[in-house]
A = this chain, B = another copy of it.
Amino acid sequence: MPTGVGVAVVGAVSLVGEALIEVLEERAFPLGELHLLDAGEGVGHTVPYKGRNLRVSAADRFDFARVQLVFLVGASALVSECHVAASAAGCRIVDLSGSISVERQPCLVPEVNGALLDSSPDRLAVASPLPASVALALALAPVRHQLGLVGVTVTACLPVSSRGAAGVKELARQTSELLNARPLEPRVFGRQMAFNLLAQAEEVDPHGHGAQERRLVDELRQLLQNPELAVAVTFIQAPVFFGESLVVSLRCSLDVDVQALSAALEAAPGVEVVGGDDYPTAVGDAVGQDVIYVGRVRCGIGDPRQVNLWIVSDNVRKGAALNAVQSGELLIKDYL
């Protein structure tokens, strides 16, 4: 019997990669060897882990037969190549890249559809969905029957950390330039991000949709087990460093009792409800936390079949790193 699970993290030199290593350290993950992998400038970096500094190696030269579990962070050609190599080596894979369709590689939010792995115990690869999909699934899966959920409209306000460390640096630099009346030099976002909102978080296709918007629709329908669910989604980019805010409006086929809905949300795993006169915010509540926060739970104005919610979540930790590690724990539970 092995003494622990050998793990590789591809894309280790990134906000999510580093958060993932932190989460592995914090949780009682039965870790054997840990290999940190990346490409380009990331190779040679060191990342702290349990009091040591682990060196990041070149992913393209790594022998995936040395590990049993692989986390794939970020969307890149490197990640796609490593997916192929890790699969060929028989590794179990948690893929955060979103580069494979949910039909071929189902997405997993352990609190919501962890039973997926009980019904397919031989499954070797799962996707960890977008942070916004994680948050929406955590809030909506436990209440969808109670609501007779028919449609979801969501405005996902992404923080600059959704673009990694470069996004964080850019907002800080632009803010300082503006406050000091220096000329603004947009780089990462291509225009003024400080004190402004951007209509989209990425390039869009000829139909006007971003890849993350399409991905969210697919993931949400799968996680809520409703391929017919009507989903309208807009990702916008907000001048916030960390933490995602979602403005959610639901169409329901049943008249909704707000008290009962709030009670069901409070009982849902991974969800905290903030009610009364208060509401949660990304910065004040969600960042650094292992749960999502739901507030402003209310019906429509004169419409009991409309429900509106506000959800905040730590996009790096809860939405990505923690969900991936929780998924990894399920993938290897029969292995030990």
A residues adjacent to B (C-beta < 8 A) = 153, 155, 157, 171-172, 175-176, 179, 191-192, 195-200, 203-204, 207-209, 213-214, 217, 230-234, 236, 238-241, 245, 247, 249, 258, 277, 279-284, 295-301, 303, 306, 308, 310
Q: Which residues of B contact A208 (CB under 8 A)?
A: 258, 296-299, 308
Further contacts, 17 of them, CB under 8 A, given A199-B245, A234-B249, A238-B239: A153-B249, A155-B155, A192-B281, A195-B240, A196-B240, A196-B282, A197-B238, A197-B245, A197-B282, A198-B281, A199-B310, A200-B279, A208-B298, A209-B301, A232-B308, A234-B308, A236-B310
What secondary structure prevails in chain A residues at the interface with B? mixed
Oligomer copy total: 2
CA distance A195 to B195 in the complex (A): 9
Residues of B within 8 A of A240 (CB): 195-197, 239
Chain B residues within 8 Å of A230, by CB: 300, 303, 306
A209 to chain B, nearest CB (A): 6
Q: For A277, what are the chain B residues with a Cβ–Cβ distance below 8 Å?
A: 203
Query: In the complex, which residues of chain B have a beta carbon less than 8 angstroms from the beta carbon of A284?
Result: 191-192, 196
Q: Is the CB of A199 within 8 A of B279?
A: yes
A92 to B42, CA, bound (A): 69
B155 touches A207 (CB 8 A): no
List residues of chain B with CB within 8 A of the CB of A306. Answer: 230, 232
The residue among A176, A213, A249, A299 with the most chain B CB atoms within 10 A of its own CB is A249
Q: In the complex, A50→B124 CA distance in Å?
A: 75
Do the beta carbons of A280 and B238 come within 8 Å of each other? no
Closest CB in chain B relative to A298 CB, distance in Å: 3
A155 CA to B247 CA in the complex, in Å?
7
Q: Which residues of B contact A245 (CB under 8 A)?
A: 197, 199, 236
For the complex, give the distance between the alpha carbons of A213 and B306 in Å.
14
CA distance A199 to B286 in the complex (A): 13
Residue of B nearest to A305 (CB): B230
Residues on B with beta carbons closer than 8 Å to the beta carbon of A236: 157, 245, 247, 310
CB contacts (< 8 Å) of A191 on chain B: these are 281, 284
CA distance A176 to B236 in the complex (A): 25
Q: Which B residues touch A171, using CB under 8 A?
A: 195
In the bound complex, residues from chain B placing their C-beta under 8 Å from that of A279 are 198-200
Of all chain B residues, which has the CB nearest A302? B217
CB contacts (< 8 Å) of A196 on chain B: these are 240, 281-284
